[in-house]
Every structure is written in C-alpha cells, then in structure tokens.
A and B are shown apart, each in its own frame.
Chain A
Amino acid sequence: GAVVSQHPSWVICKSGTSVKIECRSLDFQATTMFWYRQFPKQSLMLMATSNEGSKATYEQGVEKDKFLINHASLTLSTLTVTSAHPEDSSFYICSACAGTGGAYEQYFGPGTRLTVT
C-alpha cells in the first residue's frame, strides 16, 4: 500500500514550452501533497505544499506563476512548469501524506526528470 506515482518519468522539452507533471496517490487519499525539486547530487528542496481544494502554499523564492500547482482531487496533484527554461531542468519529486494523528509519513513518487533544451 501507500504507492505514489508520477507521470511522466522523464520529459524533454524546448525552451518556452510548458510541461505538466502529475502526482497520484494510487491506493490512499491524500489531502496534502508536496512538490520538491532536486538538482544533481544535491538534496531535495521543498517548492510548495499542495492542498486539495485550495491554493498551494509556495516556499520563499519559488515563483507561483511559473510553477502552477493544482490539487484537483484527493488522489491527484499536478505541477505545471510554464515557459520552461534550461535552468528549470531538474528532478521533480512529489510526496503524499497518509496517516491519522501524531506524526504523518510521507510517501514519495519516483520523480520526474525534466530537461529543457
């Protein structure tokens, strides 16, 4: 149980185009999902918190107009990188929260590697 999927697993796009990445919780409902980005050989940096039915909360320094997040249902959150540029090339990972009371465990998706040419 507690499986999170991401689609696509990798994508190459040209500068100026937009890319949508999907994050799904397959066997549980997740009212909260998180989006992270990871540069090569570096750690994960939280980009935003995605809440079902409400606007996402972005971390300081993350452009909300560039990284559009939609949490349309209890099992799906999407991240759209708008007008992508080469510096947006990165590994994007989502996580979904499951649990009741106390500490919650986050389940991570397998990641999406974005390359912008």
Chain B
Amino acid sequence: SQQGEEDPQALSIQEGENATMNCSYKTSINNLQWYRQNSGRGLVHLILIRSNEREKHSGRLRVTLDTSKKSSSLLITASRAADTASYFCATARNTGFQKLVFGTGTRLLVSP
C-alpha cells in the first residue's frame, strides 16, 4: 500500500495546549496537503505545502515538510474545543489534477 502513516493515531489535549501530528509518506511528491474531517462529514482543506517549501503558516496552523525524511508535521497552537476532529495528510505526486494518497489520520480530542 502507498498509504501514508500518521502518528499519533489519537491525541487528547486540553484547550490552550498545542497539538502536533506527524505524517510519513513513501514516494516522491509534488505537494502535501492537510485536511480536517469532523465526525461523519466531508473533508475541509487546511493547508498545502509544495515539495520545495519547508514550512508554511496559516493562522494557528504551522506545517513543516522534510522531503529527505519523507515526513511532515502539523502543529495547531492554542487549541480549542472546536478543533476536535480527525486530521489527515494527503500527498500528490504530480501537478495538475491530482490523485491524493491519504494518511491514516490522527483523531484529535480537545477538552474544554
């Protein structure tokens, strides 16, 4: 399987704390994307980082990419209860209309 792996599988923190999720993948990529999924819902695109980028920020999100290690991390700072969701990384090998390979996901629970 080409599916990426994420760790931890589940993460439970308190509001205000930071949450870090890691993603490892197996093939060379054009870009890596992070998505969020609330229970039983579709996916929401959070951030995209290209293979020639090392770090990207968007609001409380910080994403890093290390292509030599084929890994990425998503940091959510000052977490809120509303951040409770599953988070998936997805890799795309090519430009253009891309087939995405999703990681196994991290279930984040943020307690008030």
Contact = CB atoms under 8 A, between A and B. Distances in A.
Interface band, chain A: 20 to 34
Interface in A81-117: 91, 93, 95, 97, 102-111, 113
B98 A106 contact: yes
Question: By DSSP majority rule, is chain A's interface helix, strand, loop, or mixed?
Answer: strand
A103 B92 contact: yes
Contacts of A6: 42
Contact of B42 (A45, A105, A108): A108
Interface in B82-112: 88, 92, 95-105, 107
Contact of A43 (B48, B99, B104): B104
B99 A103 contact: no
A103 B3 contact: no
**B interface bracket (residues with beta carbon within 8 Å of A):** 20 to 34
Given A43-B104, A43-B105, A103-B50, A49 B41 contact: no
A41 B99 CA distance: 21
Interface in A30-75: 31-32, 34, 36, 41-46, 49
B40 interface: yes
A92 B105 CA distance: 17
Interface string A1-26: 00010100000000000000000000
B50 A49 contact: no
6 contacts: A44-B43, A49-B99, A91-B40, A104-B97, A106-B45, A108-B44
Given A41-B107, A103-B31, A109-B42, 14 more contacts: A4-B42, A32-B97, A43-B102, A45-B3, A45-B102, A95-B43, A103-B30, A103-B95, A104-B95, A104-B98, A106-B98, A106-B100, A108-B44, A108-B45
